[in-house]
């Protein structure tokens, strides 16, 4: 009995210091410009939240409130499940100097009883838990996570670059990933191609990668294409995607990919590695100022000038670093956040542990995107690259 009385006194004392308002008044003040914050946990909000409310769990409120409400005079309305957590949250904001803080009496229960507008949660309970740390980012949130779930990204190659990119795209919740690779797993791959394992030596790389990705995140969909990118299939394989990640290891494939992404107006996240160095950029034909791959390499270099990993060797962790940058750029493009590497070439020297950024401008004389550029077909590109070998 004493414990119950103490709790009642505590709640009474809290209510004497924190203004409480009804759900109808909360809606009116929200419509007048007030910030309504649902302080329940992500999994609680999965079943629905007041329309227009910001989802910000009680445990992270003090950490993030200044990002979303820098003005301490703003009208802030806090809502939880029953009205008690929101009282505590309001008190915490008062201590931080927020002058106009109110708690919605009865919480979400009262909001629903009053028949006020509710928006169904974009994420179910599993997704809310799985991506909770990512959803906390204001630039992502539930809406951004839903965009990732609807995104379609094609990755060319499940090798050194593709492996880390595929793992992190899957972990981030990219809903539909197409993986193109006709090669098989070899033990010489394993020091850098971390999406595979020793037991899968001899298995197709695309299927091996799919197994690892689905074990990491069974919510996503992975389409396997065990074929080589060629002049006669390049557009069909990459069409209907949002972003293309280039994990190719040869110039012929990369020139085909560059031409097709330009014609289909798809952003291409490029990377290349050799020994201890690598480079990354984004070529986005949707932007008028974006250079293309052939602004960087107008013609393919000879095989002697550009040996592959099998000939020159590569530090195992190097493609991991560059592949993660590719995954980062792809996610930024899907979410339309940050500044993509368009018009910039990021170079990496692992031995010196140095990153450098070089300006990469669109070339008016570029054979791919220049003023007088003329596309003569993918077969001609294949023949041009073959002549350079």
The encoded tokens of residue 41 equal: 């946990």
Longest Cα separation, the chain: 90
CA separation for the pair 277, 201 (Å, rounded): 27
> Is the Cβ–Cβ distance between 151 and 175 less than 8 Å?
yes
Which pair of structure tokens corresponds to residue 361?
């401008």
Q: Name the nearest CA neighbour of 356 among 305, 295, 280, 272.
A: 280
Q: Measured between alpha carbons, how far is 369 from 376 in angstroms, rounded to an integer?
A: 13
Residues in the chain: 389
CB contact set of 161 (below 8 Å; sequence gap of 6+): 245, 246, 247, 271, 273, 319, 322, 323, 326
367-373, Cβ contacts within 8 angstroms, sequence gap of 24 or more: 367/294, 367/298, 367/299, 368/258, 368/259, 368/262, 368/292, 368/293, 368/294, 368/295, 368/298, 369/262, 369/285, 369/291, 369/292, 369/294, 369/295
Is 309 catalytic? The answer is yes
Q: Are 318 and 299 in contact (CB under 8 A)?
A: no
272/347 Cα distance (integer angstroms):
10
Give me the catalytic one of 80, 309, 369, 385.
Answer: 309
The C-alpha atoms of residue 110 and residue 226 are separated, in whole angstroms, by: 55
- Report yes or no: 347 and 358 within 8 Å, Cβ to Cβ: yes
**Contact in structure between 274 and 314 (CB atoms under 8 Å):** yes
CA distance 188 to 186: 5
Nearest one of 286, 287, 249, 289 to 270, comparing CA atoms: 249
Residues taking part in catalysis:
309
């Amino acid at each position: 009995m004493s414990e119950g009385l103490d709790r009642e006194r505590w709640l009474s004392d809290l209510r004497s210091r924190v203004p409480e308002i009804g759900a109808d008044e909360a809606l009116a003040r929200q419509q007048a410009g007030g910030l309504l914050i649902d302080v329940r946990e992500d999994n609680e909000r999965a079943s629905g939240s007041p329309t227009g409310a910001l989802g910000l769990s009680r445990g992270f409120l003090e950490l993030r409130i200044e990002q979303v409400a820098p003005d301490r005079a703003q009208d802030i309305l806090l809502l939880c499940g029953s009205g008690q957590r929101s009282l505590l949250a309001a008190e915490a904001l008062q201590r931080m100097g927020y002058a106009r803080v109110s708690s919605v009496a009865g919480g979400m229960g009262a909001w629903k009883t009053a028949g006020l507008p509710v928006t169904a949660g974009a994420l179910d309970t599993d997704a809310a838990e799985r991506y909770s740390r990512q959803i906390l980012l204001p630039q992502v949130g539930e809406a951004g996570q839903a965009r990732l779930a609807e995104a379609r990204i094609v990755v060319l190659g499940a090798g050194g670059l593709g492996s880390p990119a595929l793992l992190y795209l899957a972990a981030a919740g990219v809903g539909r990933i197409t993986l193109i690779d006709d090669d098989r797993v070899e033990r010489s791959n394993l020091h850098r191609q971390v999406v595979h394992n020793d037991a899968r030596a001899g298995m197709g790389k695309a299927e091996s990668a799919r197994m690892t990705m689905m074990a990491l995140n069974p919510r996503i969909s992975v389409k396997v294409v065990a074929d080589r990118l060629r002049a006669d299939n390049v557009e069909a394989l990459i069409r209907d995607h949002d972003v293309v990640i280039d994990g190719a290891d040869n110039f012929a494939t990369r020139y085909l990919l560059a031409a097709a992404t330009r014609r289909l107006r798809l952003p291409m996240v490029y990377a290349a590695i050799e020994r201890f160095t690598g480079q990354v950029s984004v070529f986005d034909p949707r932007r008028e100022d974006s250079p293309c791959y052939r602004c960087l390499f107008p013609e393919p270099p000879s095989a002697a000038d550009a040996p592959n990993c099998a000939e020159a060797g590569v530090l195992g962790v190097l493609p991991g670093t560059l592949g993660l940058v590719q995954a980062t750029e792809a996610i930024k493009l899907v979410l339309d956040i940050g500044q993509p590497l368009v018009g910039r070439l990021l170079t990496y020297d692992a031995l010196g542990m140095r990153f450098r950024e070089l300006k990469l401008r669109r070339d008016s004389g570029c054979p791919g995107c220049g003023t007088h550029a003329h596309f003569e077909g993918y077969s001609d590109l294949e023949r041009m690259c073959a002549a350079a070998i």
